[in-house]
């Protein structure tokens, strides 16, 4: 499996095809059996397979994606989730992060609820919560169903996310000892962050904009129609009907025509 990262395309493709075949059957997590060997194998090889999902050559990337999905469904192991979080979700490669989240959806559906109380499970919760907190719309659409699946396993999201964020805070505090000397309460900070995350998870109320717009246009049309009718009434009162205007023209033409008829009559009398 060292050939996965080989620069020769054929060697890399063949190694990835073998990875696909290895995870066609589900592997159950049991430390008392040979799954320890699988855990070590996944920890060493899976990062290379995951990185190949965004490879420039499509025929290699497609095989790597298929192998990653198979592993996410078959190998419900902490080592696999750890690679998805550290190598995939927390990376700056947007495409790799998005695809890693899609693989996490398969992993979460097959994971037992006790897994989310482990160190790796809390690390996953911290990564998912940080995405929602950052309001990254591209990724939030994928993260929300994942958190709903976790909640569907009988896990309280408030407690789970609070514990996950506390692990991040503790890690930062260990690196920076001065942080503990400041007037900061980690529990309060995590509680505020969890409340913000939970508000983002609540679906927004749908407003029927079309009906509102139609009613608005209806009222505007009525107001415009009333104004136009009022102008027509004022015009009719000042200028009169159109027929009277035509009648005046006819009368003027008749008045101009009468003197022409009277002149010959006067000449005859003379």
Residues 150 and 168 in one domain: yes
Mean pLDDT of the chain: 76
Q: Are 4 and 68 in contact (CB under 8 A)?
A: no
- Taking 70 as the threshold, does the pLDDT of residue 216 lie above it? no
Residues 97 and 226 in one domain: no
Q: What percentage of the chain reaches a pLDDT higher than 70? A: 62
Domain count, the chain: 2
Helix axes 186-201, 119-134, angle to 10 degrees: 60
Q: Are 47 and 83 in contact (CB under 8 A)?
A: yes
CATH of the domain at 45: 1.25.10.10
Residues 18 and 92 in one domain: yes
- pLDDT band at residue 99 under the 50/70/90 scheme: very high
Residues 255 and 147 in one domain: no
- Taking 70 as the threshold, does the pLDDT of residue 126 lie above it? yes
The pLDDT tens digits of the residues spanning 15-42 come to 888 888 888 877 665 555 566 788 888 8
How crowded is residue 242: how many other Cβ atoms within 10 Å of its Cβ? Answer: 9
The structure tokens listed for 222 are 């009525």
Residues 186 and 229 in one domain: no
Indicate whether this model's pTM tops 0.85. no
Domain end point (choices 180, 201, 222) = 201
Residues 214 and 139 in one domain: no
Q: Are 100 and 84 in contact (CB under 8 A)?
A: yes
Residues 188 and 214 in one domain: no
Quote the domain boundaries for residue 100: 2-201
Residues 228 and 197 in one domain: no
Residues 49 and 24 in one domain: yes
Domain end point (choices 152, 184, 201) = 201
Domain end point (choices 182, 201, 220) = 201
Residues 15 and 98 in one domain: yes
Residues 122 and 246 in one domain: no
21 Cβ neighbours under 8 A, 6+ residues apart: none
Residues 151 and 220 in one domain: no
């Amino acid at each position: 499996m060292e050939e996965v990262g080989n620069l020769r395309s054929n060697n890399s493709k063949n190694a990835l095809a073998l990875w696909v075949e290895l995870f066609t059957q589900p592997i159950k997590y049991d430390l008392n059996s040979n799954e320890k060997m699988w855990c070590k194998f996944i920890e060493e090889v899976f990062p290379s397979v995951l990185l190949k999902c965004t490879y420039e050559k499509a025929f290699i990337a497609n095989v790597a994606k298929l192998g990653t999905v198979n592993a996410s469904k078959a190998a419900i192991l902490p080592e696999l989730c750890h690679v998805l979080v550290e190598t995939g979700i927390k990376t700056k490669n947007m495409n790799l992060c998005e695809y890693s989240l899609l693989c996490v959806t398969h992993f979460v559906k097959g994971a037992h609820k006790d897994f989310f109380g482990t160190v790796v499970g809390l690390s996953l919760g911290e990564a998912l919560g940080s995405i929602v907190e950052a309001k990254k719309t591209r990724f939030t659409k994928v993260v929300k169903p994942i958190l709903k699946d976790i909640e569907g396993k009988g896990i309280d999201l408030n407690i789970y996310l609070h514990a996950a964020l506390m692990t991040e805070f503790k890690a930062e505090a260990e690196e920076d000892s001065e942080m503990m000397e400041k007037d900061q309460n980690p529990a309060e900070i995590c509680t505020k962050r969890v409340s913000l995350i939970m508000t983002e998870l609540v679906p927004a109320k749908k407003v029927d904009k079309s009906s509102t717009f139609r009613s608005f246009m209806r009222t505007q049309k009525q107001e415009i129609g009333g104004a136009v009718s009022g102008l027509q009434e004022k015009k009719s009162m000042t200028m009169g009907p159109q027929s009277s205007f035509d009648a005046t023209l006819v009368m003027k033409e008749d008045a101009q025509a009468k003197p022409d008829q009277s002149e010959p009559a006067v000449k005859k009398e003379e």
